[in-house]
Each structure stands twice: as structure tokens, then as C-alpha cells.
Amino acid sequence: MTDASRPAVQLLAVSKHFPDSVAPAVEHLTLAVPRGAVVALIGPSGCGKTTSLRLINRLIDPTSGHVEVDGRDTRQLDPIALRLGIGYVIQAVGLFPHRTIAQNIAVVPRALGWDRGRTRRRVSELAELVGLEQEQLGRFPDELSGGQQQRVGVARALAADPPILLMDEPFGAVDPVVRARLQQELLELQARVHKTIVLVTHDLDEALTVADRVALLDRGGRLAQYAEPDELLRAPAEEFVTEFLGPDRSLRRLALLTVDALQLRRGAAVAVGTSTHDARALLARDGGDWIGVLDDERFLGWVRGTALAGEGSVTEQGLEAPAALVGPRSTLRAAMDRIMTARTATAVVVDEGRFLGIVTLEDIRRALAERAG
């Protein structure tokens, strides 16, 4: 019923002036949110990111320009119906304190006139989805921790299975540890539900972690750059973006790039039983001090070049266990951290026991440089 190539949400030359302020809150903003994408709106305070979000479900109406949801101009739609079709999560959670968790989640289905049975099934399904215990459904919001309340907020937003989810600083009210966990949960959730999510945040790391695309707004609601996180970090479009991203842009990129995005080298590695002669030759070509020993595809350990003197073959004896092990989904930042912590030069990349290659600091440096385009 919907055209997959058409943006789920589109802001077209939208401006918003509030009567009590001279400067516009949002100025001529054009932004397309692709279907199924997570888009983060970020920027300094006063950049109109929350205003932009609220324009989407007509909590406020634009002064000029127009907003399209699913290709339809929102001004042609009844605001209540529009909002019921769009999930919304706010920073303060805003659960109804006089309703149980189940009743909170059921608010939108009830408003849409679902019958009790269907609503109840949906509520318990959502509890499962966001990781709430069934027995918590009968409790009141005040009985739950901040993180749990936030999960309920997400469940409430997802209740009627809306294709679009708006989140206004969804994790702003919880402590950093819980926040990181909730962000991870959101990513896992998104992998299952494939919503179009527009998320407002002031936390750059959150935007970079969670979003497929980041819209960086400058004061007055001017769109400074709209790009994928890596591109934003790699190629800031202007001075303001560079400044906003801060001096540790490269480090932040390391957190985005994963090991499997590198061209992994096998490095100096030989199978058990290889003659020491061949091993020495390989090591000489490689120029290192250590050589990896494999059993089939399993990485057994390192052996020092000087231990390969004389004739014979490489055995499993006397191997040193790898100090730095990383997986293909590890970030380059994690890989670098392992290397530094282990005081070694090389991290071994292993996927479920299978040897994939090695990563050195030089590889990481080159990866950043290559992608700097």
C-alpha cells in the first residue's frame, strides 16, 4: 500500500516562527526521512530540533512550508488521527500515573477502538518485545525504575504498531549506564520491527550509535548537514559541523567502524606441522618477530621467530596465547583498546573460533585515512 521508495516523513521548506520570539525556531527546513531508517535530529539548544519533531505529528503547525507523512500533506489530516498513527516517546516518559502499566500501553489501542482481547494480546506481546515482566503489567508506573518506565514508554508508542516512531530525547532522563543499555535495546528492537524512527537528542554519541542518518541543525533551525554518521565525522560540511563534532572526531569514527570493514590480512601465520624452514622464510618476508600458528582454521597462539631455529616443524608446544582478540563486529575503537591494553602490536580477529586475520594499529590508522576520501 505504501511506496517503499517514497520517504516516510518529509519536511518541505518548513519554517516555524513563534509569536513571542523574533528569531525563527525552524528556518526553511527540508528533510526526508527514508522508510525504515533511524534519523537523529541533533544540534545545540535552540536549534529547533524538538520543534521539528513536533511539526511532524502536528503538535505544532508550520508557519510556512509543509510536512508530508507517507506522501500526504499533514494539514489535510485530522491531527488526532495522525497522532494515533504515529508512536511518540518523550523524555520525561509521561506515563499516566493513575493507570497500570498494561493500561498505559493500551491507551492508543483503546482510543482506536480495539476490543479487549486484541488489546490484551497486544499488550502482553509488547511487554515481551521491550523486555518487561508480565507481572509488572499490573503495577503502577511509580513502582518501576526509570529504565523500566522508559521501556513502557516505548511499548506505549509501539502499541498500535505505527509505521513511524517519534522520540524526543527518549533516554535523557536515565543515568548513562541505563541509557547505553536502552540504546542497545532500541537497536535490537529496530532490527525486529523496522520502524521509521525520528529521534531528537543532544547526545552526539547517542546520535552516532543509534541513527542511520544524522541531521545536524544549527541555531534557528538551519540544517547544517544531513548524512550518515561516518560521513558526518569524515567529511564535515562546514565549520559549524566541525566545531559541533569536537576535536575527537577520529576517535568517534573508530567507534562507528567495525573490524570486518577492514581488508583483513592473514599476516604471518602457518599451520601446525609446517617446517620451521618455511615458517622462518614467511616471517622474514613479513618482517615481524612473531608468527601465528593455526590448526586448520583455529588460531592456536603465537610463536617467537627466535624459537624457530634449527630443522623440524612448528608444533603446538610453547605457544603464547593471543593477548588481544577481537571479533568481526568489534569496533575499531575496541580493537585499538585491546591492542593498547595488551601492550601488543597485533590483535587477532576471530569469528566463533575461526581465524579471520589480524589487525594492527597501522591498519586502523590507514582505514581512517582511506575513508577520509
Cα separation, 143 vs 104, whole angstroms: 14
Does residue 50 touch other proteins according to CB under 8 A? no
H/E stretch holding 250: helix 249-256
Does residue 91 touch other proteins according to CB under 8 A? yes
Does residue 146 touch other proteins according to CB under 8 A? yes
Cα separation, 137 vs 220, whole angstroms: 42
Nearer to other proteins, 77 or 237 (CB): 77
Does residue 143 touch other proteins according to CB under 8 A? yes
Does residue 367 touch other proteins according to CB under 8 A? no
Nearer to other proteins, 92 or 281 (CB): 92
H/E stretch holding 349: strand 346-351
Does residue 81 touch other proteins according to CB under 8 A? yes
Question: What residues contact residue 305 under an 8 Å CB cut-off, 6+ apart?
Answer: 280, 283, 288, 289, 290, 291
Does residue 163 touch other proteins according to CB under 8 A? no
Single-letter amino acid code for the residue at 216? L
Among 9, 39, 157, 257, binds other proteins (CB under 8 A): 157
Complete edge-to-edge strand list for the sheet that includes strand 26-33: 26-33, 9-16, 64-69, 72-73
Among 87, 221, 288, 292, binds other proteins (CB under 8 A): 87
Does residue 105 touch other proteins according to CB under 8 A? no
> Does residue 155 contact residue 130 with C-beta atoms inside 8 Å?
yes
Among 82, 198, 199, 308, binds other proteins (CB under 8 A): 82
Nearer to other proteins, 143 or 316 (CB): 143
Nearest CA among 35, 36, 37, 47 for reference residue 216: 47
Contact window for other proteins (CB under 8 A) among 80-88, 205-213, 271-279, 288-296: 80-88
Nearer to other proteins, 11 or 53 (CB): 53
Among 85, 109, 163, 357, binds other proteins (CB under 8 A): 85
Does residue 180 touch other proteins according to CB under 8 A? no
Cα separation, 283 vs 289, whole angstroms: 7
Cα separation, 162 vs 126, whole angstroms: 13
Residue 333 C-beta: closest distance to other proteins, Å = 31
Residue 11 C-beta: closest distance to other proteins, Å = 18
Angle, helix 176-193 to helix 116-130, in steps of 10 degrees: 120
Among 6, 13, 73, 111, binds other proteins (CB under 8 A): 111
Contact window for other proteins (CB under 8 A) among 41-49, 143-151, 189-197, 239-247: 143-151
Does residue 61 touch other proteins according to CB under 8 A? no
Q: How far apart are the first and last CA of the chain?
A: 40
Cα separation, 13 vs 41, whole angstroms: 16
Output the nine-digit C-alpha cell for 20.
Answer: 513571542
3-state secondary structure at position 61 = coil
Query: What is the contact surface with other proteins in residues (CB under 8 A)?
Result: 54, 57, 59, 80-88, 90-99, 107-108, 111, 140-147, 149, 153, 156-157, 166, 173-174
